[in-house]
Amino acid sequence: DGGITQSPKYLFRKEGQNVTLSCEQNLNHDAMYWYRQDPGQGLRLIYYSQIVNDFQKGDIAEGYSVSREKKESFPLTVTSAQKNPTAFYLCASSLRRGWETEAFFGQGTRLTVV
Amino acid sequence: GESVGLHLPTLSVQEGDNSIINCAYSNSASDYFIWYKQESGKGPQFIIDIRSNMDKRQGQRVTVLLNKTVKHLSLQIAATQPGDSAVYFCAENKAGGSYIPTFGRGTSLIVHP
């Protein structure tokens, strides 16, 4: 079945470490997104990419980095510069053509700093 | 700045009642809206969408109403069931722009058996 897969589901990070969250989609979508969700909060945009080898900062990009070397993959690295990384991270994808298009989400990665 | 927001953070209803979840938007150029449902520990899922040239759209047990005059969107769930318990988000998009889903805070719907 087509879909979007995030891994791992749970991730623990020590202070000062960089960690990378995986996001893969087989929906042939051009656009991919990373959101951060804190308890009782909405989804805040970290980074997005509308085409391979191109990506843009979202509202809270500081302390994060991404790459888009393949259409199917959009990994997110949480760097040691991110001071409060504990959160639920959601990856999404959508068709780029047209504006009437829904986003498809992965099941999320819960990151905890220990 | 312009944003999508929700009026009520938590809504509690009895099983079988109808639920209404509201959303206010301030971007007058937005003309496509989506409601998503997020169950605990999972990613949001599409429920229903509506274009700005419509004021009502119905799905299975759900209805979305759009009032462009007051920039208000609502999601009505008929005969609410315990399985409807989740956080509901509205998202908006502006025609002609890059589609970047913009979400509000969300409303937590709690259905009591």
* pLDDT tens string B29-39: 888 899 999 99
Rounded Cα distance between B98 and B93, Å, is 8
Strongest mean pLDDT among A72-81, A97-106, B101-110: A72-81
The pairing of strands A43-51 and A109-113 is unpaired
Two tokens, residue A85: 């990384």
Residue B95 pLDDT: 58
Residues of A within 8 A of B93 (CB-CB) are: 99-100
Cβ–Cβ < 8 Å for A2, A85: no
Print burial letters for B64-78: b (CB count within 10 Å at least 16), e (below 16). Answer: bbbeeeebebbbbbe
Cross-chain residue pair A42–B34, CB shorter than 8 Å:
no
Residues of B within 8 A of A42 (CB-CB) are: 89, 103-106
Rounded Cα distance between B108 and B40, Å, is 10
Rounded Cα distance between B9 and A18, Å, is 34
Side-chain half-sphere exposure of A108, counting CA atoms within 13 A: 19
Q: What is the mean pLDDT of residues A51-62?
A: 94
What percent of chain A shows pLDDT beyond 70? 94
Touching A: B residues 27-66, CB under 8 Å: 32, 34, 41-46, 49, 51
Cross-chain residue pair A100–B98, CB shorter than 8 Å:
no
Cross-chain residue pair B101–A94, CB shorter than 8 Å:
yes
Provide the shortest C-alpha distance from residue A15 to chain B (in Å): 24
Residue in B closest to A6 by C-alpha: B43
Best mutation target, A43, A51, A59, to test chain B (most B CBs within 10 A): A43
Q: What is the mean pLDDT of residues A16-40?
A: 93
Residue A42 pLDDT: 84
User: Is residue B3 over pLDDT 60?
Assistant: no
Cross-chain residue pair B97–A100, CB shorter than 8 Å:
no
Q: What is the pLDDT of residues B54-107, one digit of tens each?
A: 999 999 999 999 999 999 999 999 999 999 999 999 988 765 556 678 887 789
Q: Count the residues in chain A.
A: 114
